[in-house]
């Protein structure tokens, strides 16, 4: 199993960035994918999740209405579109595969494999 994030970089407040999470080594279409971030000096914060079929998406309150999540199963890739960025979004962003396939009404499963992370810096 391998997950590789990309798309991080430096953005000014109010700008947008799109992160990608490219997956391999498992049947991608069977599993939901999480995004989790770690800001400098802070703990882990769950950000978003997309179900295996893309039908349901969940977001942390801190990013609701600003971030969207999508997936392209033909490319084994999940995207995190981030807009209206603020300094509070500065963090390393990790994607993670859920441990076992889940479907509503069950909540998403825990993460068993993680990418190496991509750094997002929001600064003027």
Partner 1 sequence: DIQMTQSPSTLSASLGDRVTITCRASPSVSNYLAWYQQKPGKAPKLLIYRASTLQGGVPSRFSGSGSGTDFTLTINSLQPDDFATYYCQQYNSYSPTFGQGTKLEIK
> Which residues sit at the interface with partner 1, rule CB under 8 A?
34, 36, 38, 43-46, 49, 58-61, 94, 96, 99, 107-112, 114-117
| CB-CB contact of 114 with 21 (8 Å) | no
Six-digit token string for 90: 């500065």
Q: How far is the CB of 93 from partner 1 (least distance, A)?
A: 11
Q: Which is nearer to partner 1, 26 or 59 (CB)?
A: 59
Q: How far is the CB of 101 from partner 1 (least distance, A)?
A: 14
**CA separation, residue 72 to residues 9, 11, 26, 54, 63 (Å):** 22, 25, 15, 9, 22
Q: Which is nearer to partner 1, 28 or 35 (CB)?
A: 35
Six-digit token string for 51: 């179900």
Beta strands in 12-123 (DSSP E): 17-24, 33-38, 44-50, 57-59, 67-72, 77-82, 91-98, 111-114, 118-122
Give the count of beta carbons closer than 10 Å to the beta carbon of residue 79: 20
Q: Which is nearer to partner 1, 1 or 13 (CB)?
A: 1
Q: How far is the CB of 85 from partner 1 (least distance, A)?
A: 21
Q: How far is the CB of 57 from partner 1 (least distance, A)?
A: 10
Q: Which is nearer to partner 1, 27 or 116 (CB)?
A: 116
């Amino acid at each position: 199993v391998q997950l590789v994030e990309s798309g991080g970089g430096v953005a000014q407040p109010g700008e947008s960035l799109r992160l990608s999470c490219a997956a391999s080594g498992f049947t991608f279409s069977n599993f939901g994918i999480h995004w989790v971030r770690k800001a400098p000096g802070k703990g882990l914060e769950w950000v978003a999740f997309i179900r295996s079929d893309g039908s349901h998406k969940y977001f942390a309150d801190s990013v609701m209405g600003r971030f969207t999540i999508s997936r392209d199963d033909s490319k084994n890739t999940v995207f995190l579109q981030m807009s209206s960025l603020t300094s509070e979004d500065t963090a390393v962003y990790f994607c993670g595969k859920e441990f076992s396939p889940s479907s509503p009404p069950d909540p998403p499963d825990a993460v068993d494999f993680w990418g190496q992370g991509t750094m997002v810096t929001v600064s003027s």
